[in-house]
């Protein structure tokens, strides 16, 4: 047997080791941590507030018949994020002596779920947080939930109207000002300007207008195609000038009060943000100098979330803090305006991801685990017998030389020959494959070769784990040998960005963190789609890992995984692939003496999800009933079995679309 470094002292694994392994403090602070008992704690109010034990919470929800998968929302986290955003901008404003203020707006497209929007509006009230709409339905909900008192410079949140607009959209937005709202119609295409001017004349009101600039500073990363000269949205420099001239001609240049831009979401590099701000600040100055009555500079979204905790400009991270972001915006805008002698604008950001991502955690249970058959312990026991009369060979049959070679390779594996051993094993396996093709190797020997090959790989991998670094040509072994854990969720429904954009989300068990996770695994979801899997995981190095460290399941005990930072974009982009519906959702508030389940929103039943594709449950039951009657009549099924089928069918339609355990 290869020698493991025997002097490597084994100290007992603690929750702190798990925190480091999963990068918990790096991406989760101040909201998520592990306690000494190995459970994940959530501290929704951030640093100072009370904590909840996530495992206990899930257990108590299951006692209330709330089944998994389950999306937990912590509205206190939303409030804390909003508070952080404002305090960072306030600090930046003080630091640079910025003679102006900051107003946030929450972009609804990030997550429009009613209870979440209501929580954001309530938490944002002290800050005059506004809302941003990008479509008519979003505007419709914004008009109903955003409170307004006709006090634009005081306590009211702004209502920023973005996106492509038709007459109805613009009419609704303009008339909202009559209800005391402060709508800003942001012109994305010149045609919208003409409609806005015509309608405001008709309604006899003075509109608050903005323009969206198409910046030439290209973004970077995933959304870089949505910026720069070929961006889908926004006015180019000639179009901005045309807008100014159109407004001047109609005597309404004073209505143009806001300059907006948006360079994409999850902008990982601060350099990209700075370049965009610099360009936008110059545009702001230029438009003021042309006579526009600008007051607001709206920097759009893009403020990123550090999903892997690496603090790098990898797609899953960001190389700046919230404070850096606010500082750079305040500093760049102040510099450009001061230089030109232009009054400083009120700064607006439309930060969706940065407000919403942290507040939601998806909990799913592991249903089962699969390791390739070659790796199962019984095969290894057979291997360790070196005589050729092992149980699966008949005495008459002699062992092929390749089998012996591989057995010797296996026996010789040691930390100083891992690459050599691996390449030998590969060569023997390849030779065996060609010999088999030409009829020179029996199936039995081929099976032995394969078992031995996998045993070598496993042994080499185990040795690699004890080394400080892994040679490149062996780095795939962990992923190749990883177990598959089946989890009770649909990636398409609950984590669509991991499928569509290869986005990474932190995942870890919410209990057993005080013991070492000895397995390395990838995750497979319930859909019968080979894309329905998670096989890249965040790492604080900034390079993703092809496996996740997990514990072996314990028979009769649940094993719960938490997927964190899923509050932005996932719910609304999720799809009903394989007819898996919405997960159950619980809104949980911390209280000084425990917690309160403020809202419980049941996930879809099979009936509901079938209705979405236009099947009526009653019709389905009736169709099946008729079939059973025919089968009973022709004596293909006994009546009790037919009834059993019908009852199971009807219960299935009433129930949750996920697996029940
Ligand atoms: C998507 C979007 C946002 C939100 O972006 P985040 O990166 O989530 O903050 C803001 N403004 C506009 C115009 C958008 O399209």
Give the model confidence (pLDDT) of 468-499 as tens digits.
Answer: 999 999 999 988 899 999 999 999 999 999 99
C-alpha closest to that of 349 among 569, 110, 72? 110
Distance CA 362, CA 352 (A): 19
Testing ligand 1's pocket by substitution, the residue of 81, 107, 315 carrying the most ligand atoms inside 8 A of its CB is 107
Spacing, Cα 106 to ligand 1 middle (Å): 9
Integer CA distances (angstroms), 647 to 27, 204, 617, 624, in order: 47, 64, 13, 11
Beta carbons within 10 angstroms of residue 253's beta carbon: 19
Would residue 630 show up in a list of annotated catalytic residues for this protein?
A: no
584: nearest Cα among 602, 597, 570: 602
Query: Does residue 350's CB lie within 6 angstroms of at least one atom of ligand 1?
Result: yes
pLDDT along the chain (661 residues), means of 10: 47 96 97 98 91 97 96 98 98 98 97 97 95 97 87 77 96 95 96 97 97 82 60 89 97 97 95 96 98 97 97 95 98 98 98 98 96 57 46 57 93 95 96 96 92 92 92 91 94 95 97 95 92 94 94 95 98 93 96 92 96 97 97 97 97 95 77
Q: Specify whether the CB–CB gap between 587 and 548 falls below 8 A.
A: no
Residue with tokens 């831009």: 261
Residue 298 parent element (H or E): strand 296-298
Is 246 within 8 Å of 194 (Cβ atoms)?
yes
User: For the purposes of burial, counting CB atoms within 10 Å of the CB of 319, is it exposed (0-12), middle (13-18) or buried (19 or more)?
Assistant: middle
Domain extents for the chain? Answer: 100-358, 616-654
How many Å apart are CA 104 and CA 119, to the nearest integer?
15
Cβ contacts of 499 within 8 Å, gap of 6 or more: 491, 492, 531, 532
3-state SS, residue 129: coil
Q: Considering 255, 463, 528, 630, which one is annotated as catalytic?
A: 528
> How confident is the model at residue 149, as a pLDDT?
73
- What is the per-residue pLDDT for 218? 62
318 close to ligand 1 (CB < 6 Angstrom): no
Contacts of 264 (CB under 8 A, 6+ apart): 219, 221, 222, 223, 224, 226, 227, 301, 302
Residue reference for tokens 């002699």:
398
Task: Give residues with Cβ within 8 angstroms of 510, minimum separation 6.
Answer: 39, 40, 54, 55, 58, 363, 560, 561, 562
For residue 101, the SS3 value is coil
Mutation choice for ligand 1 from 108, 110, 112, 219, CB with most ligand atoms inside 8 A: 110
Q: Side-chain half-sphere of 312: how many Cα atoms within 13 Å?
A: 12
The Cα 466–Cα 447 span in angstroms is: 30
What pLDDT, on the 0 to 100 scale, is given for residue 223?
59
CATH class of 100-358: alpha beta
Give pLDDT, residue 229: 63
Q: What pLDDT score does 373 carry?
A: 60
Crossing angle, helix 617-633 and helix 639-654, to 10 degrees?
Answer: 170
Kindly give the number of the ligand 1 atom that is closest to the alpha carbon of 569.
8
- Round to whole Å and give the CA distance between 375 and 446: 16
DSSP reduced 3-state for 305: coil
Whether the model clears a pTM of 0.75, i.e. scores above it, the answer is yes
User: What strands, in cross-sheet order, belong to the sheet with 40-42?
Assistant: 32-34, 40-42, 52-53
| Amino acid 32: pLDDT | 98
Query: Are the CB atoms for 523 and 534 separated by under 8 Å?
Result: yes
What pLDDT digit, counting tens, does each position of 97-152 carry?
A: 999 999 999 999 999 999 999 999 999 999 999 999 999 999 999 999 998 776 65
Residue 351 neighbours by CB under 8 Å, 6+ apart: 85, 104, 106, 107, 301, 303
| Residue 110 CA, ligand 1 centroid: distance in Å | 7
**Whole-number Å distance between alpha carbons of 160 and 157:** 9
Which pLDDT does position 156 carry in this prediction? 79
Give the pLDDT of residue 593.
85
Decide: 449 and 406 in contact? Cβ < 8 Å: yes
């Amino acid at each position: 047997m290869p020698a493991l470094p025997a002097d490597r002292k084994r100290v007992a694994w603690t929750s702190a080791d798990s925190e480091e392994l999963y990068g918990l403090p790096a991406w989760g602070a101040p909201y998520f941590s592990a306690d000494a008992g190995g459970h994940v704690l959530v501290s929704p109010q951030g640093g100072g507030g009370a904590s909840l034990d996530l495992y206990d919470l899930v257990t108590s929800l299951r006692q209330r018949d709330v089944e998994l998968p389950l999306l937990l929302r912590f509205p206190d986290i939303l409030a804390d994020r909003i508070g952080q955003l404002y305090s960072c901008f306030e600090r930046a404003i003080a630091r640079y002596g910025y003679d102006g203020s900051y107003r946030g707006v929450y972009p609804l497209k990030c997550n429009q779920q009613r209870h979440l929007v209501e929580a954001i509006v309530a938490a944002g009230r002290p800050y005059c947080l506004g809302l941003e709409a990008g479509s008519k339905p979003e505007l419709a909900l914004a008009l109903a939930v955003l409170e307004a008192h006709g006090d634009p410079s005081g306590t009211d949140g702004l209502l920023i109207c973005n996106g492509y607009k038709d007459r109805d959209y613009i009419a609704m937005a303009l008339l909202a000002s009559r209800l005391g709202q402060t709508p800003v119609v942001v012109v994305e295409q010149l045609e919208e300007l003409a409609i806005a001017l015509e309608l405001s004349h008709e309604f006899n009101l003075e509109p608050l207008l903005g323009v969206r600039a198409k910046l030439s500073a290209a973004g970077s990363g995933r959304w870089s195609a949505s910026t720069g000269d070929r961006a889908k949205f926004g006015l180019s420099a000639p179009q901005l000038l045309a807008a100014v001239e159109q407004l001047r001609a109609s005597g309404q240049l004073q209505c143009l009060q806001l300059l907006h831009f948006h360079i994409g979401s999850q902008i990982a590099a601060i350099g990209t943000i700075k370049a965009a701000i610099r360009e936008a600040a110059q545009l702001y100055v230029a438009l003021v100098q042309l006579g526009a009555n600008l007051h607001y500079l709206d920097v759009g979204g893009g403020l990123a979330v550090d999903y892997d905790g690496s603090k790098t400009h990898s797609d899953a991270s960001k190389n700046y803090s919230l404070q850096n972001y606010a500082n750079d915006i305040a500093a760049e805008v102040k510099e450009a305006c001061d230089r030109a002698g232009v009054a400083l604008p009120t700064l607006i950001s439309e930060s969706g991801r940065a407000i919403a991502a942290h507040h939601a955690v998806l909990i799913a249970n592991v249903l089962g685990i699969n390791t390739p058959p070659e790796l199962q312990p019984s095969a290894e026991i057979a291997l360790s017998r070196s005589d050729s009369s092992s149980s699966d060979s008949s005495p008459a049959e002699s062992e092929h030389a390749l089998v012996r070679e591989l057995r010797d390779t296996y026996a010789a594996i040691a930390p100083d020959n891992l690459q050599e051993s691996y390449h030998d094993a590969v060569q023997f396996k390849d030779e065996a494959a060609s010999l088999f093709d030409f009829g020179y190797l029996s199936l039995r020997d081929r099976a032995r070769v394969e078992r031995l090959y996998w045993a070598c790989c496993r042994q080499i991998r185990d040795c690699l784990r004890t080394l400080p670094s892994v040679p490149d040509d062996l780095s795939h072994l962990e992923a190749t040998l990883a177990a598959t854990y089946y989890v009770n969720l649909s990636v398409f429904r609950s984590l669509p960005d991991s499928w569509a954009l290869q986005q990474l989300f932190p995942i870890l068990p919410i209990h057993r963190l005080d013991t070492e996770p000895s397995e390395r695994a990838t995750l497979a979801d319930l859909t019968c789609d080979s894309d329905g899997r998670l096989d890249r995981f965040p790492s604080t190095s900034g390079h993703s890992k092809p496996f996740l460290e997990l514990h072996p399941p314990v028979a009769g005990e649940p094993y719960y995984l938490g997927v964190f930072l899923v509050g932005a974009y996932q719910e609304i982009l999720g799809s009903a692939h394989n007819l898996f519906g919405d997960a159950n959702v619980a809104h949980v508030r911390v209280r000084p003496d425990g917690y309160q389940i403020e809202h419980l929103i049941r996930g879809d039943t099979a009936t509901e999800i079938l209705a979405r594709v236009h099947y009526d449950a009653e019709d389905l039951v009736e169709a099946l009933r008729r079939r059973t009657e025919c089968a009973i009549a022709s004596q293909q099924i006994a009546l009790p079995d037919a009834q059993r089928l019908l009852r199971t069918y009807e219960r299935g339609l009433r129930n949750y679309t996920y697996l029940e355990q």
